[in-house]
Chains A and B, each alone.
Chain A
Amino acid sequence: MGTDIPLFHYVVLSGILFAIGGIGFMVRRNVLFSLLSIEILLNAVNLSLVAFNRLRPQNHTGHILTFFVIAAEAAEVAVGLAIVISLYRLKRTVRVDEADLLRN
């Protein structure tokens, strides 16, 4: 089932998603949106990995890498959200710039 779509369309879409995620990560200060932006970034990377693996269908290197990225991301989200809850309990806020316990 070849779909006849040029591969670079996937790559461009992945770049657009990566840009959206990166800008969101830079601009937002709500820590929940920072985590959501990290999710967007990793999804963009996954898409380009799978797209480039389509060039070499003899092996599954890109698929395996994507698999590990998904596993690492699940771990990251679990720990990140735990830190969010901990931060909220300590400071009653979810803003990233209120978390300055390590300053000075």
Chain B
Amino acid sequence: MQQLVNAIIRFRNGLVYLLLISLSIFLLQQSSAYHRSLVANVSVFFGAQFSDFVNSFHSYFNLRETNRSLLQENQILLNQILFEEKLPSDTLHYSSVPLQVIRNSFINSYNYITLKGGKNNGVKNEMGLVTAQGIVGVVQVVQNRYTQAISVLNKDLKINAKLKNSNHFGSLTWTGDDPTKMRLFDVPTTATIKIGDTIQTGGMSTIFPPNLPIGSISNFVDDPSISFYDIEVSLFQDMTNLGTVFAIDHPLAEEVLSVQQSTDEK
């Protein structure tokens, strides 16, 4: 017994190291939504207010760039009003909440965005985040004044997307290398595609409305051994430069989810 105690005392640093590294890996590998949101909640609680302060400092020096970005957004919105087709009268009327990005990571494999604005502004869980240029992320944790969202630059996120020209659907995901590019899988090789074709949201969930711009095809692989393309998509939205984003509220989200849930139970 004494020898065991002596051995533990002698190798205590090694044991403490093993314990702490195991704890770190445990935190890192937590894939369950509950644990991730628990850690994210702590992170938002402590980190968001500080990031807000840092952001207010930086935003002062970025006014020129913000102004340019707003002008560009205004132009896109004006073009939509003037030239886009009028929506049919039975189309769902989505509402949106503007949120300011106060922290945006893009150097990790699992990136998150922290936003100023939360429950007090009408933000709800699983709202999609967009800008006039494209999609940005999905709301994950909502507190009263701050929100954390999973960035599209997060390997865990899979987005339903489609080809603008042919309505073939696929699954859009980030592979963790280039923040300007994502990969679209599961588009059947029966679809005719070419470089430069536009990719849009598929609208098969309550997160993003259909037909929102995402990016354009910059490269693709047509492997004859499998019947699906591997498509590289260049994002329209520069994910390394986010100012104000909009959280999209699906008007019938709760109804759709309850119908899906009851179908799944059957």
Same complex for A and B? Answer: no
Measured CB to CB, the residues of B under 8 A from A are none
Measured CB to CB, the residues of A under 8 A from B are none
